[in-house]
Amino acid sequence: MNIHSKELIGLPVHTRSGLAIGKVASLDVDMDTGRIAAFYVKSGNLVTGLLADELMVSWASVIELTSDALIVADNTVPAGATLLAKAG
């Protein structure tokens, strides 16, 4: 299955356990391989100031990429941010 890069921007990002992190803001492509190297996620539910405005997610942290969402490993988000996001 192919997905156009325009469809990736704004795609919701969740951890495997279901915590909403935010939305894909941009991505890096490895010029040597032509593959996605990292996604930059604009934080949504995470506490402002605890993380930078964007969280870099390496391709190695991606569990699943569908047309509906980008699912990443639970340890992608720092533990403190996860606890505060759940409380909020």
Q: pLDDT digits over 13-55, tens only?
A: 999 998 888 899 999 999 999 999 999 998 765 544 445 567 8
Provide the β-strand partners of residue 20. Answer: 14
With 0-12 CB in 10 A as exposed, 13-18 as middle and 19+ as buried, what is 26?
middle
With 0-12 CB in 10 A as exposed, 13-18 as middle and 19+ as buried, what is 13?
buried
Predicted confidence (pLDDT) at residue 85 exceeds the cutoff of 80: no
Average pLDDT, the chain: 80
Quote the tokens at residue 1.
């299955």
Model pTM?
A: 0.78
* pLDDT confidence bin for 82, thresholds 50/70/90: very low
Give which of 86, 32, 87, 27 is closest to 62, Cα–Cα.
27
Predicted confidence (pLDDT) at residue 2 exceeds the cutoff of 50: yes
